[in-house]
Structure 1
Amino acid sequence: MVRYAEPGAVEWVESGGGPLIAVPETVLPFWAGADGEETASDYDRACEVDGHVGLLPVGDCTALVLGDEPASTAYLPDHGMFVRWRAGDSEDELLASVPPAVDAAEWEPEVHWEVPGTVHLFDAAWPGSHLSGAEHVRVALEPGRYAVRAASAQPGPETWLGLIQLRLLARR
């Protein structure tokens, strides 16, 4: 986790070069990351996701893969959105650009994600059972079915971001 502004303002997760993944807390031990005896690791499966988002089975749940590029990512609960910092001079500038970026975004087709509750966002290479406080963000979500849509946006000449919006469709 990286902080670019005042402590506690926004928590950012970074990747070592691959995708980030949001895994439901209930199945974290089932995510092996780059570890494991299998020919294709969980991390390899996550790397195969084409595009901004994708879903992968983990245990008896599904995880959300944030693909495309390894950008610093934060969850903004007020917007129900993961924001990916692709370019920008400051965190304040980037965060201020989120509302206009949402309004102007050209959204990709949405996917539906069934969530049992809280998820953890982290580098897909890490095993879910070995997360420490500095490398993941806990995202409290209501259990239910979510519509997930993604877009890239350039709300300013030097500001580029990725948006992944979660909208609760039905509670469990």
Structure 2
Amino acid sequence: MAQWVESGGGPLIAVPEAVLPFWAGADGDEISSDYDRACAVDGYAGLLPVGDTLALVLGDEPASTAYLPEHRTFVRWYAADSETELLDGVPAALDSAAWEPEVEWRVPGPVVLFDAAWPGEASPRTEHVRVDLEPGRYGVRAAYVSAGPETWLGLVQVRARTD
């Protein structure tokens, strides 16, 4: 089945591997930590500067999240009786989703999804998922979808842009 990532209560973040050392998480003596910046992102998904590129914040509420490469989509488990039930609902959810406006995300290569409270350099020692994205431009769109009477999921789709 899918590999799931959970947070300790805050947002998850997908940081390009090339800039992982620049993500300080909740650490630091600044007035506002990187984690605070991630928590301030409105909506289901948003972008934050990290180093010389951007990271993708999966906002809204904490939810177990997996990346499904066959759909190029982060799936967020809000409610379902089983993983199978949730994953079986993904194709129909993708077709019926009322998407938020798409944003453009330029990535230098693979990204790592983990709890935004952790420093980037610690992510390999925490619950994480590596997502093999090719360098380039992507459109990112998000939605909250009911895939059945008791199944609710979040979708954050990452689509290659050629325009």
Matches within 5 A, 1:3-152: 9-152=1-144
Q: Give me the TM-score of the superposition, normalised by structure 1.
A: 0.92
SS state at 1:132 partner: helix
Instruction: Tell me which residue corresponds to 1:161.
Output: 153
SS state at 1:35 partner: coil
SS state at 1:36 partner: coil
Q: How many Å apart are 1:132 and its aligned residue?
A: 3.2
User: For residues 83 and 90 of structure 2, what CA distance do their matches in structure 1 show?
Assistant: 11
User: For residues 15 and 83 of structure 2, what CA distance do their matches in structure 1 show?
Assistant: 26
Q: Give me the TM-score of the superposition, normalised by structure 2.
A: 0.97
The answer on whether the counterparts of 2:114 and 2:126 sit within 8 Å (CA) in structure 1 is no
The CA deviation string for residues 50-75 of structure 1, in whole angstroms up to 9 with x for no partner, is: 10111100001100000001000000
Structure 1: which 5+ residue stretches go unaligned? 1-8
The answer on whether the counterparts of 1:33 and 1:43 sit within 8 Å (CA) in structure 2 is yes
The answer on whether the counterparts of 1:84 and 1:162 sit within 8 Å (CA) in structure 2 is yes
Percent of pairs with identical residues: 72
Q: How many Å apart are 1:134 and its aligned residue?
A: 4.5
SS state at 1:99 partner: helix
User: For residues 105 and 28 of structure 1, what CA distance do their matches in structure 2 show?
Assistant: 32
- What number of residue pairs does the alignment pair up? 163
Q: How many Å apart are 1:150 and its aligned residue?
A: 0.3
User: For residues 107 and 145 of structure 1, what CA distance do their matches in structure 2 show?
Assistant: 19
